[in-house]
Amino acid sequence: MFKSLKTYQLLFLRLILILSIAGISIFLFQKELIFTAIFGLFTVFLLIVEMYFYIKNAFLLYDRTIVSILQNDFTSDFSKHKSYQNYSNLFKLYETLKGKENEQVSKDIVYRSILNTIETGIIILQKDRNDWNIFLMNDYFSKHFDVPKVSKWKYLKNQLPSLCEIIEQRDFQEIKTSLEIRVNQQDTQTFVIQTSRSEIYNQDYFIVSLDSIQSVIEKKEKEAWSNLMKVISHELLNSITPIRSLSQNLQDLVQQETISAEDLDDMKSSVTTMLRRSDHLQQFVESYRKLAMLPSPKKQIMELSKLIDNSCQIMNPLFKKEHIEVINTIAFDRRLNIDPQQIEQVFINLLTNCIYALSNSEKKQIIISAEVKENRIFIMISDNGKGIEKEIENKIFLPFFTTRKEGAGIGLTLSKSIVEAHGGYLAYRNDEGMTTFVMCLIDP
Q: Does residue 311 contact residue 366 with C-beta atoms inside 8 Å?
A: no
- Fold match between 118-216 and 300-442? no
> Which pTM was predicted?
0.42
Closest CA to 301 of 335, 276, 326, 273: 335
Distances (CA, A) of 327 to 187, 263, 307, 366: 55, 58, 15, 6
Q: Running DSSP on this structure, what letter comes out for residue 152?
A: B
**C-alpha distances out from residue 195 to 169, 279, 373, 443, Å:** 13, 53, 27, 32
Task: Quick: pLDDT tens for 318-346.
Answer: 888 888 899 999 888 888 899 888 898 88
Q: Which CATH architecture has domain 118-216?
A: 2-Layer Sandwich (3.30)
pLDDT in tens, 218-257: 566 566 666 667 666 766 666 677 777 777 777 777 777 7
pLDDT at 2: 37
What is the largest distance, in Å, between two alpha-carbon atoms of the chain?
145
Is residue 85 pLDDT above 70, yes or no?
A: no
Cα–Cα dist 131/157, whole Å: 13
Enumerate the domain spans of the chain: 2-96, 118-216, 222-292, 300-442
pLDDT in tens, 94-144: 777 777 877 877 878 888 888 888 878 899 999 888 889 998 899 888 888
* Per-residue pLDDT reduced to its tens digit, 191-218: 788 888 888 878 889 999 888 766 655 5
Which range (90-99, 263-272, 290-299, 327-336) has the least confidence? 290-299
Average per-residue pLDDT for the chain: 78
72 in Cβ contact with 105 (< 8 Å) = no
Give the sheet arrangement for strand 434-442, strand by strand.
325-328, 365-373, 376-383, 434-442, 425-431
At 5 the pLDDT is: 45
CATH T-level assignment (fold) for domain 300-442:
Heat Shock Protein 90 (3.30.565)
pLDDT higher than 80, residue 435: yes
- Pairwise pLDDT comparison (7 vs 71), residue with the higher score: 71
Q: Is it the case that residue 1 has pLDDT exceeding 50?
A: no
